[in-house]
Structure 1
Amino acid sequence: MAKTVIYVLDEGYIEFAVEKIHGKLKKLLEEKERIYVVLAGGKTPLPVYERLADLNLPWNRIHFFLSDERYVPLDSDQSNFKNINGVLFSRIEVPSENIHFVDTSLPVEKACERYEMEIRTAGQFDLSILGMGPDGHVASIFDPKTGKIERAVTFTPPSGDPMVPRITMTFRALNSSRYVLFLIRGKEKKNRLADILKGVPLSASFVKGREKTVWFVEE
């Protein structure tokens, strides 16, 4: 039966999360030759990714996927790919073919189709590192109905901050993950986690790891 674990930390939040993620990646790499990891966009995970880049791992054996992308040029400061690339991908020795992202230079439908095909190559994900918005959204799933469609990838109209169109993995894709780790910081997000624990059907409540779901919460 899948487990849920919550860590509430007064200090050392980033260091603790990095230590746990690093340990999980090493364990997964002992089990398999190649692993598939989902990374969330947004600001909260970036310091964690930056610390991970300093660690010694066989990065060539890890395939990375982005949980969602803002439908903006990839060189835009609003691009999740650009921001993650700056703190992680550009600083580690990982083959370009191991980095899977939404090609926002394509028309929306084509971009979704291509990314869905790439996700199928993974079969299932080993680890998903996700965030949660102050409204309880996960990836770019602002309305749970959006996440419940049968496809692995879908387009969402302008939402969130920044208010731009987005392309996102759905619950079907995210819930294929063996392990799901949520990184949340801030009072509003902590309140949304409390709502989820009470059974409120926010988008993030529909995402769970097949083996374990872990919440890292900064007090």
Structure 2
Amino acid sequence: MTVNVQRFSNDTDLVAYFNRKLRLQLEQAIDERGHAYLVVSGGRTPIPLFQLLAKQQLAWPRVTIVLADERWVPPSDASSNEKLVREHLLQDQAAAAKFVSLLSAADDPHDGEQEVSERLAQLPTFDAVILGMGEDGHTASLFPGADELQRGLTTDAAALAVTPKNAPLARMSMSKKRLLNSRQIYFHLSGAAKAAVLDHALAEQDVESMPVRAFLHQQQVPVEVLLASD
């Protein structure tokens, strides 16, 4: 399965294209099965997309939004992906959407792993999964060098706790298997540095050094990379 790489000269054009595509995809899912399921990622890159998508006229009560991964901090914490989604996506029209958290009351993500996995396992096939990519080649919270990486790539569980060796804070991440239970995977990337990482990731297949390759080189789900290279 060939990865479809769409290159844009600026973020504005990328976001406009992506917003239209997601809106149509969510509408189609609602028409086909009465509900749509969208997985998003944190970070600064998707904020303009979230803000535009939130204004779209959709049957938002029939849309469920989930995060691909989360830092194990309270949702009020500035580093929380849930806080980012609530402030930028679950607003305007999209305030009516359902949100599934990756957090639990457990103090440690390992203690909350089973509860979160069971919660995610109850969800059907996702309609779209939006992933980012770090300059180290990680995606979701599947980090190179992490003790949990192999488990994240092979487990049947929907989620797992991860403690990155070169990034702050323990995390909860969807597993590869749960993320691939989707109709479409997107990578939303911006900048020359990410373009160089993407080229490296596409050129080779070693997932230990760059876990993102586990998604770019798989044959199960269509992948579209949206890259603004300004």
Decide: shared fold, TM above 0.5: yes
1:169 aligns with 2:179: no
Q: 1:209 to 1:160 in 2, by over 3 A?
A: farther
DSSP 3-state at the match of 1:103: coil
Shift, 1:211, TM fit: 4.2
- Aligned residue number for residue 96 of structure 2: 94
State the alpha-carbon separation in 2 of the partners of residues 160 and 104 from structure 1. 24
Q: 1:134 to 1:146 in 2, by over 3 A?
A: farther
State the alpha-carbon separation in 1 of the partners of residues 212 and 162 from structure 2. 16
Runs of 5+ unmatched residues, structure 1? none
Shift, 1:33, TM fit: 0.6
DSSP 3-state at the match of 1:196: helix
Q: Which has the higher strand share?
A: 1
- Match runs of 1:38-49 below 5 Å: 38-49=39-50
**8 Å contact 1:184–1:215 — kept in the other structure?**
yes
State the alpha-carbon separation in 2 of the partners of residues 26 and 159 from structure 1. 40
1:199 aligns with 2:198: no
Shift, 1:149, TM fit: 3.4
**8 Å contact 2:191–2:228 — kept in the other structure?**
yes
State the alpha-carbon separation in 1 of the partners of residues 60 and 228 from structure 2. 28
- Match runs of 1:51-70 below 5 Å: 51-70=52-71
- Aligned residue number for residue 10 of structure 1: 9
With normalisation by structure 2, the TM-score equals 0.86
Q: 1:132 to 1:59 in 2, by over 3 A?
A: same
Shift, 1:103, TM fit: 2.0
Shift, 1:115, TM fit: 1.4
* Partner amino acid, structure 2, of 1:123: P
**8 Å contact 1:71–1:104 — kept in the other structure?**
no
State the alpha-carbon separation in 1 of the partners of residues 32 and 204 from structure 2. 34
State the alpha-carbon separation in 2 of the partners of residues 59 and 213 from structure 1. 25
- Per-residue displacement from partner, 1:158-213 (whole Å, max 9, x unpaired)? 4555x111111110111111100110012221112111221243211212584421
Instruction: Compare 197-206 and 53-62 and name the one that shifted more.
Output: 197-206
1:103 aligns with 2:111: no
RMSD of equivalent CA atoms:
1.9
Shift, 1:153, TM fit: 0.8
Shift, 1:110, TM fit: 3.7
DSSP 3-state at the match of 2:118: helix
- Per-residue displacement from partner, 1:131-162 (whole Å, max 9, x unpaired)? 1111111101113424213122111114555x
- Match runs of 1:1-219 below 5 Å: 2=1, 4-11=3-10, 12-91=13-92, 92-94=94-96, 98-107=98-107, 108-143=109-144, 144-150=149-155, 151-159=157-165, 161=167, 163-201=168-206, 202-207=210-215, 210-219=220-229
Identity %: 24
- Per-residue displacement from partner, 1:51-96 (whole Å, max 9, x unpaired)? 100111111111111110001111001000001100111432425x
Shift, 1:5, TM fit: 1.4
DSSP 3-state at the match of 1:49: helix
Runs of 5+ unmatched residues, structure 2? none
